């Protein structure tokens, strides 16, 4: 009995120590590299990390097309030269709009290039990126240059459609008093149709460079 009375306090102490150890182990913060994939961004259907990775993939393709077009030095063909110049400008604009999208998705409360409505901002910028390659292809119609970049630009549009599908539309889309959609005047009928087919709603206050 004497032996039992001496070991009992030790057993209790060991049990309490073990409990505290496992409690602390469970409450320790997990790896930050894993947690960053699940930062809550309510308007995205995927994690911000996945969204950014997808946007970077689009930028990579845009850079490839830019490299091809930049290699052309056209002399005596002003129309083709102008078309290439316009296309390069559109691609540069698209890359910038994708950069805005990536930045906003990672920092939803940021104010740079943003109206404060993340869903609306992302859809506005991505809609412009979706239209730009089609405009570029149209400008290169009938030239040998089109054949060199059309497949890559088609890929850009396909990837951007997937990006748009990753953004939940908000309920504040603008409509006219009759309920019909209004697109900015600088978007032609063909591009309006392209946007509607991909579930992009009109926004009457979008500027030509994609800003609002």
Which of 31-40, 55-64, 73-82 has the lowest average pLDDT? 31-40
Segment 91-134, tens digit of pLDDT: 999 999 999 999 999 888 776 667 778 899 999 999 999 999 99
Taking residues 181-194, report their average pLDDT.
Answer: 61
- The DSSP-derived string for 82-150 is HHHHHHHHHHHHHHHHHHHHHHHHH-TT--TT--S-HHHHHHHHHHHHHHHHHHHHHHTTTSHHHHHHH
3-state secondary structure of 209: coil
Q: Where are the domains of the chain?
A: 42-169
- How many Å apart are CA 40 and CA 184, to the nearest integer? 32
Per-residue pLDDT, averaged over 11-26, amounts to 51
Cα-based angle 130, 156, 189 (whole degrees, multiple of 5): 30
Asked if the model's pLDDT at residue 1 lies above 80, the reply is no
**What's residue 57's pLDDT?**
97
**What is the 8-class DSSP label of residue 31?**
P
- The architecture of the domain spanning 42-169 is Up-down Bundle (1.20)
pTM of the model: 0.64
Residues in contact with 23: Cβ distance below 8 Å, sequence separation at least 6, in sequence order: none
| Rounded Cα gap, residues 115 and 158, in angstroms | 26
């Amino acid at each position: 009995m004497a032996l039992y009375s001496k070991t009992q306090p030790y057993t209790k102490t060991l049990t309490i120590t073990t409990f505290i150890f496992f409690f602390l182990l469970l409450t320790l913060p997990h790896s930050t590299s894993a947690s960053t994939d699940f930062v809550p961004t309510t308007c995205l259907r995927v994690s911000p990390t996945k969204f950014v990775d997808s946007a970077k993939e689009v930028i990579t393709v845009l850079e490839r097309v830019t490299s091809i077009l930049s290699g052309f030095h056209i002399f005596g063909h002003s129309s083709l030269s102008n078309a290439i110049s316009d296309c390069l400008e559109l691609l540069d604009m698209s890359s910038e709009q994708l950069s805005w999208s990536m930045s906003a998705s990672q920092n939803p409360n940021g104010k740079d290039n943003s109206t404060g409505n993340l869903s609306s901002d992302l859809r506005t910028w991505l809609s412009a990126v979706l239209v730009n390659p089609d405009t570029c292809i149209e400008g290169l119609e009938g030239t040998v240059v089109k054949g060199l970049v059309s497949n890559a630009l088609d890929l850009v549009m396909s990837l951007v459609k997937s990006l748009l599908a990753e953004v939940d539309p908000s309920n504040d889309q603008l409509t006219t008093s009759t309920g019909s959609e209004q697109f900015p005047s600088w978007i032609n009928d063909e591009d309006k149709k392209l946007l509607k087919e991909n579930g992009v709603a009109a926004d009457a206050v979008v500027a030509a460079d994609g800003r609002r």
